[in-house]
Amino acid sequence: MPLSCGKVVSTLPIPKISGDRHTKNTGRASYSVIVLCRSLLFTLIFLLIGTANAAFENIELMAGPMGIGGAYAAATDDTSALIWNPAGLARLPTREIGIGYLDLYGLLNYSFIGVAHPIQTGQTVGAAILSSSDTEGLSYERIVLLSAATRLWKKLNVGMSAKYFSTSVNLERMPLGQGSGWGVDFGIQYAFMREKVSVGVMFPNLLSNLSYRRHETAAYNESLLREWRIGTAIEIDVPDRESDTLLAAFEITNGMPLIGGEYRYGARLGEFALRLGWRFTHGPTAGFGYQRGNIGLDYAFVNGRNVGSQSSLFSVRVFY
């Protein structure tokens, strides 16, 4: 996750420069101090990347899953599987493109675009690009991934994603350093009771290696922090409402409990979805979705995301 402390520092008021020479000098001095502080902060951040595990933080960029608290490793069956659990790709009924966007407090921009293409029933391939940058363009991270999933036995699906990482940090216009590497995600999904109950296990960054190159210093390597998530999802048919379903999901991600639910109902104007979730260490989430024809729109409100405030997440799905 790119860190944009420079943006925070730059919001400090700079004295207005008027025709008075003393005011001009004061303004120039204040601006110089701000630039110096920002430069020192970015240098410190880049030096600490190797030990803080801050690089390439796992940010989930699809609003549908986040609306139910992120408890989606067992339930995913769309392009969200590229992030939550690649095994879920094997359940895709049709070809799909997914796009997600998050503006985090005006400091960081995150984007996701992915495509999933079923080859035949129970076999799907997919690809995605995830990127993030600060609003001043001083740093960026990018992940390019290729995924494949297959049905091994009855309702047992397995999936894998191969990822390429790249990152760069600049000091104003001067390059400070770059990094690149690779990683592997692995996931499993199993459905039973007429596919009304499913269990999912996902291991992001099961294998990884990153190489950092700072200018005027030797390169060094590190591995990303290994993560894990395991969950279950139950789909319940609503009595006397043939087109309506209720989804309940529970998951534990890196030791953090997640719980959520979705009520999906059909109408003449399309299909609507209402979502609620709770992340036990961060608080509530909520969202809604609308799908008509080959387009689906989703929104999620997420509380306590990353830095203890609120943020909104938008995503679009296109079926073709």
For range 260-274, the mean pLDDT: 92
Residue 256 to residue 279: CA distance in whole angstroms: 7
63-112, pLDDT tens digit by residue? 999 999 999 999 999 999 999 999 999 999 999 999 999 877 667 788 99
> What pLDDT does 24 receive?
41
* Two tokens, residue 115: 């495509």
Q: Which residues contact 111 (CB under 8 A, 6 or more apart)?
A: 61, 99, 100, 101, 102, 130, 131, 132
Residue 46 pLDDT grade (very low, low, confident, very high; cuts 50, 70, 90):
very low
Q: What is the mean pLDDT of residues 148-155?
A: 93
Q: Which pLDDT band holds residue 176 (cuts at 50, 70, 90)?
A: low
The string of DSSP letters for 16-62 reads: PP-S-HHHHHHHHHHHHHHHHHHHHHHHHHHHHHHHH--TT------
pLDDT digits (tens, 9 = 90+) for 101-145: 987 766 778 899 999 999 999 999 999 999 988 867 678 899 999
